[in-house]
Amino acid sequence: MKKIFFLYLLLTLTGCAKEELFSEQARHDLWLFHEGAEMPIVVEGNTSSKIFLILLHGGPGGSAQEFNAYSKAFSDPLEVDYAMVYYDQRNAGLARGEWDEDKLTIEQHVEDLDKVIDLLNHKYGDDIKIFLSGHSWGGFLGTAYLLEPARQAKVKAWINIAGGIHRNLRNFHNLATIKTIALEQLAAMENVEKWETLLQDTENELNNGPLQYDAETESVPNALLRRAENLISEDRLLDLNGNGGTAAIYGDNYDVFLILINGRKGTLIEQLYAFDETLEADLNKITLPVLSIYGRYDVVTAAPQGEYLNANVSTPEEDRKFVLLNKSGHSCTKNEPVVIAEEIKMFIEKYQ
């Protein structure tokens, strides 16, 4: 009797320990140790679809877990149909490991992403379909990754959400967008005095500012965009759909302090300016289907950044799509999560 009991116990325990690779509600916690970095990757959702959507977070220094934790209206509907891949980049989010400034480069981030994609193939098989998406800096990183045709071959399509694509042009795109919004708000007689002042300062920067910005001089347009963001918030131009933090902190692996401290570390701004030249030369190497999604009130990486991307890739016209969200700013997955999730679903269904 005792033997039967222990055999039953053993079978039960080993049965519990086995994790299903393909299911409709999977949650797999993976770690990628690469070149000193220890990067967490959460695969959550419908792995049985064999469609994997990688989400590259912003920053640098943000966290992909943030989308899973605070933008559930965006991430949950996608998890129903696909396996979402929340990957925290080196020295960002919940990543741990060595802090090596020499490895905080665009090239290293591109290499890390390549390893993430290879790891997904290694774990889930070569027959899975991988879609790549990225928000803000993630939009840049995904674009940089796809400039190499061999890497493009590993993914089905590219979803750029409010990506900062071209660093120098970004300043002019942001300033032009601030001007447009200011004129609209003045016409609507909203917050007149503040918008007038901001409009004057913006026009002054557009007329007298440098033609080529750098890490130092971009502080002027950056200060203007912070003022614009405050006014956009005051005038309640955005929808707000983020969910609360309690479940995120205690139920998910969301470590506020770790994410904040990681987020304050190094910056790649100088490298981003230097990369503009590569981008101008190689953007036409991208032939994948492209979906660009931007908020109308995004003054951090304004919508013309997406238009620039769509206009310069070599993807056939019918496989390029641009979506402008009318009630969104830069954090558009918190402003219009349902619309974005639906657009992504339609796009994936078309190109899977």
Q: Which of 35-43, 53-61, 178-186, 326-334 is the region at the interface with other proteins (rule: CB under 8 A)?
A: 35-43
- Residue 115 or 345: the one with the smaller Cβ distance to other proteins is 115
Q: With binding defined as CB under 8 A, does residue 251 bind other proteins?
A: yes
- Residue 126 or 318: the one with the smaller Cβ distance to other proteins is 126
Q: With binding defined as CB under 8 A, does residue 194 bind other proteins?
A: no
Q: Work out which of 96, 154, 320, 327 binds other proteins, going by CB under 8 A.
A: 96
Q: With binding defined as CB under 8 A, does residue 17 bind other proteins?
A: no
Report, in Å, the least distance between residue 30 CB and other proteins: 5
Which residues lie below 8 Å from residue 165, measured CB to CB, with a gap of 6+?
139, 140, 143, 279, 301, 305, 306, 308, 309
Amino acid at 328: S
* Peptide bond before residue 60 is cis, with ω within 30 degrees of 0: yes
Computed on alpha carbons and rounded to an integer, the radius of gyration of the chain in Å comes to: 22
d(CA 24, CA 28): 12
Q: With binding defined as CB under 8 A, does residue 107 bind other proteins?
A: no
Q: Which tokens hold the place of 210?
A: 């440098």
Report, in Å, the least distance between residue 42 CB and other proteins: 7
Q: With binding defined as CB under 8 A, does residue 97 bind other proteins?
A: yes
Q: With binding defined as CB under 8 A, does residue 176 bind other proteins?
A: no
- Exposed e or buried b for every residue in 244-254, given b needs 16+ CB within 10 A? eeeebeeebbb
Q: With binding defined as CB under 8 A, does residue 249 bind other proteins?
A: yes
Asked if 132 and 145 touch (Cβ cutoff 8 Å), the reply is yes
DSSP at 35 = T
- Residue 21 or 281: the one with the smaller Cβ distance to other proteins is 21
- Residue 210 or 266: the one with the smaller Cβ distance to other proteins is 266
Q: Which of 28-36, 216-224, 301-309, 331-339 is the region at the interface with other proteins (rule: CB under 8 A)?
A: 28-36
Q: With binding defined as CB under 8 A, does residue 42 bind other proteins?
A: yes
Token pair 């320990």: residue: 17
Report, in Å, the least distance between residue 51 CB and other proteins: 21
Q: Work out which of 32, 54, 291, 309 binds other proteins, going by CB under 8 A.
A: 32
* Helix or strand run (H / E) with residue 69: helix 65-70
Which residues lie below 8 Å from residue 279, measured CB to CB, with a gap of 6+?
143, 144, 147, 165, 166
User: Which of 227, 221, 230, 226 minimizes the C-alpha distance to 203?
Assistant: 221
Q: What is the footprint of other proteins within residues 118-137 (CB under 8 A)?
A: 118-119, 122-123
Q: Work out which of 26, 40, 297, 340 binds other proteins, going by CB under 8 A.
A: 40
Strand 37-45 relative to strand 26-34, pairing: antiparallel
- Residue 37 or 238: the one with the smaller Cβ distance to other proteins is 37
Asked if 100 and 36 touch (Cβ cutoff 8 Å), the reply is yes
Q: Which tokens hold the place of 15?
A: 């049965």
- CA angle, residues 112, 32, 28, in degrees to nearest 5: 120
Report, in Å, the least distance between residue 94 CB and other proteins: 7
| Backbone torsions φ then ψ of 222, nearest 5 degrees | -65, -40
Q: What is the footprint of other proteins within residues 256-275 (CB under 8 A)?
A: 257-258, 261-262
Q: With binding defined as CB under 8 A, does residue 76 bind other proteins?
A: no
Contacting positions for other proteins (CB under 8 A): 27-35, 38, 40, 42, 94, 96-99, 115, 118-119, 122-123, 249-253, 255, 257-258, 261-262
